[in-house]
Amino acid sequence: MSEIAAKAPTRPRRRLIVSRLVPYLLLQALIVIATILGLRLLQPSDPEDFALSQFSLREDGVTRPVTLPHFTSSRYSLADPPLYTGAFTFRSADAGAGWSVYLPRFSNAVEVAVNGVVVLDSRRDANANRPDRNTPQIAVIPASLLRDGSNEITVRLFVWGPLKGFLDTVYVGPDAALRPSYETRTLLFVTLQVAFSAWQSILAVILAIMWLMRRREPVYGVLAVAMVLGVIQAFIPPPVPPAAISRLAAVLLASAPTESALIVAFGVLFFGWRWPRYGMLLFAPGLIVFVVGLIAGPPLPRILFLVLGIPTVGICLFLMACVTATAVVRRQDAASFTIGCAVTIVLTCWVHDMLSVFEIVTNERIFVSRLSYSAMLVAIGAGLTWRFARALNQVDSFAGQLVTRVHEAEERLKASFAREEERARAAALANERTRLMRDLHDGLGGQLVSIVALSERGHEGASITDAARAALKDLRLVIDSMDDIGGDLMLALGSWRERATAQLRPHDIALDWRVATPQGVPLHPELRPWHVIQIVRILDEAVTNAVKHAQARNIAVTIETLDGAQGPYGVISVTDDGCGFARAENGEAAGASQTARGLRNMRSRAARCGAMLDLSSDAQGTQVRLQLPQVFPDSDAAGG
């Protein structure tokens, strides 16, 4: 069961891989064929009318006739180089302009003499010394040297191993006939290479900057390093063996395998895979060549380069081809296709060069891998820059989208905020209604009911009047407490003083009002109407008790601010000179129970406001001391 389940997705997946890989491989085969054809077609043509191919070669003391192009054995000594001697015919009648000698391809360096006089020494041209470039040479033969009839030409071929020496057909003829061919080769193998290198250096700078700004993407940095190495390799002239600056030579030799390893690293990173730890092994050949180059003198590094470096390049190219093929199968996108095709071209060129080196195919020893590699790098660099620009565009459009989204979210937030506010307002209104109801129930409601009860029992006069007055007073208190007093309790106490004075005037009781501190009680920004009502009702109760039950003649209200440990707090005291509630208890039972209820009420009201209520009473009078909290409680916790 589980096997079937495991196999089921595998088969379509394999089919998918095959269906994607086969067309890709066919395409790569086509590209290989196209590349080979292209290389054949692009082979620069030479002016065959002026070819000199029959030479006699004196090598190691032995003279033998040879036909150019000709390979000589590899050697590491510049002493006693192979000497090619040939002859050409010059007719002064034909020579309108000067004659030249043109060497399309040789390695590693030549010294050309006509009639025993040296006319060309390629060792002085740094570019011409590079075996990886197919630099041609041309030299005008001074007219004075040329004799009518047969002339002798000798070519010394300097070879520094490990590659074999090579001398292509030599051309001698009118400068006008040879020059175009020379120019074509120069353009293809020298100027184009320089142009690519220049381009590469610019891209290296751009990519390096990208990497510096975006450290998270090492892919740019890797490619930049590869390009920098390429540029160094291209522009630093390799030392000519006699002037053996072997260390520099080692650096230059190490560049090719290192570069190719970097390109593989780039490929892996570019397609979003992790760079495996053992991947560092790829850099080993370059490192070995470099270290050996630093330690040992020539020719060891060059041999090492041939044995180690060039295969590394091939392996890297092959790995890169595998990486891109996998990417093509997995991603099926333009980038992997393009890079894959480019790698195939470079790989074909490398194989072409290898076949050429080992003389497996007849050739003119034209190396194209370096050129194709530079072209590939430039293509990749341009592609990356394009991708970067596209990412920027995406960021732009993303920013645009973000602005829109943020705007939308803001609108939604506003709407929900408005809804929330509406809800909060409704809740506040409901709370306020509940509070008002409770306040009216506590005061006005009870008093009105008591008026109804009194009038039903046929009471006349004073008791109904008192109840009605109390009801009116309470109504005023409720209305008054709803006013915004900005946290200044003194404003509420001011109104209360007025009402209390009016209440006491018929009883002929004086209300002594003492504000001990200038500001009275501290400001309480958190003060709410229901706090004010509780406080005022406590004071009312105290005054009512003093008048009704204690028969007081003088009532004093003292308002002061005291300094406590946590800051200032307000204290309101109501003191009377009545008989106190101890005596009242002995006196009349009804009054006592009423007083007791009043006291309980006062305590619970004080508790709801977070205030402390102290009562002291004796025959000389009563003191009600209300100590306000530092901060009034937010919710009516004890209420209910």
Among 96, 116, 458, 506, binds another protein (CB under 8 A): 506
C-beta separation of 301 from 293 below 8 A: yes
Among 95, 192, 475, 523, binds another protein (CB under 8 A): 475
Q: Contact region for another protein (CB under 8 A) — 114-122, 194-202, 308-316, 501-509?
A: 501-509
Among 138, 146, 328, 493, binds another protein (CB under 8 A): 493
Among 46, 132, 474, 480, binds another protein (CB under 8 A): 480
User: Which residue number, 192 or 491, has a Cβ lying nearer to another protein?
Assistant: 491
Among 201, 116, 107, 111, smallest CA distance to 156 is for: 111
Measured in whole angstroms, the distance separating CA 532 from the mean position of its chain's CA atoms is 58
Among 342, 378, 117, 86, smallest CA distance to 230 is for: 378
Q: How many residues bind another protein (CB under 8 A)?
A: 26
Q: What is the 3-state secondary structure (H, E, C) of 311-342?
A: HHHHHHHHHHHHHHHHHHHHHCCHHHHHHHHH
DSSP 8-state class, residue 416: H
> Which DSSP string do the residues of 544-599 spell out, in sequence order?
HHHHHTS--SEEEEEEEEEEETTEEEEEEEEEE-S-HHHHHHHH-HHHHHHHHHHH
Least distance in angstroms from the C-beta of 590 to another protein: 27
Least distance in angstroms from the C-beta of 472 to another protein: 5
Among 176, 429, 502, 638, binds another protein (CB under 8 A): 502
Residue 450 found at the interface with another protein (CB under 8 A): no
Q: Contact region for another protein (CB under 8 A) — 15-23, 56-64, 88-96, 495-503?
A: 495-503
Q: Contact region for another protein (CB under 8 A) — 199-207, 295-303, 429-437, 505-513?
A: 505-513
Measured in whole angstroms, the distance separating CA 226 from the mean position of its chain's CA atoms is 24
- Which strands sit side by side in the sheet containing 137-141, from one edge to the other? 51-52, 170-174, 99-103, 137-141
Residue 497 found at the interface with another protein (CB under 8 A): yes
Q: Contact region for another protein (CB under 8 A) — 61-69, 287-295, 491-499, 583-591?
A: 491-499
- Residue 567 phi, psi dihedral angles, 5° rounding: 120, 180
Least distance in angstroms from the C-beta of 497 to another protein: 4
Angle at 194 between CA 188 and CA 198, to 5 degrees: 140
Give the footprint of another protein on residues 516-545 (CB under 8 A). 520
- Residue 434 phi, psi dihedral angles, 5° rounding: -60, -45
User: Which residue number, 83 or 468, has a Cβ lying nearer to another protein?
Assistant: 468
* DSSP bridge partners of 510: 554
Among 20, 156, 331, 469, binds another protein (CB under 8 A): 469
User: Which residue number, 317 or 500, has a Cβ lying nearer to another protein?
Assistant: 500
Least distance in angstroms from the C-beta of 424 to another protein: 19
Supply 348's token pair: 């074909």
State how far the Cα of 558 lies from the Cα of 513, in Å rounded to an integer: 6
Least distance in angstroms from the C-beta of 601 to another protein: 24
Among 405, 433, 505, 600, binds another protein (CB under 8 A): 505
Supply 70's token pair: 């000709």
Residue 115 found at the interface with another protein (CB under 8 A): no
C-beta separation of 496 from 544 below 8 A: no
Least distance in angstroms from the C-beta of 488 to another protein: 8
Among 476, 548, 583, 603, binds another protein (CB under 8 A): 476
> Which DSSP string do the residues of 423-456 spell out, in sequence order?
HHHHHHHHHHHHHHHHHHIIIIIHHHHHHHHHHH
Q: Which residue has the tokens 């070879």?
A: 159
Positions that interact with another protein (CB under 8 A): 468-469, 472, 475-476, 479-480, 483-486, 488, 490-491, 493-498, 502, 505-506, 513, 515, 520
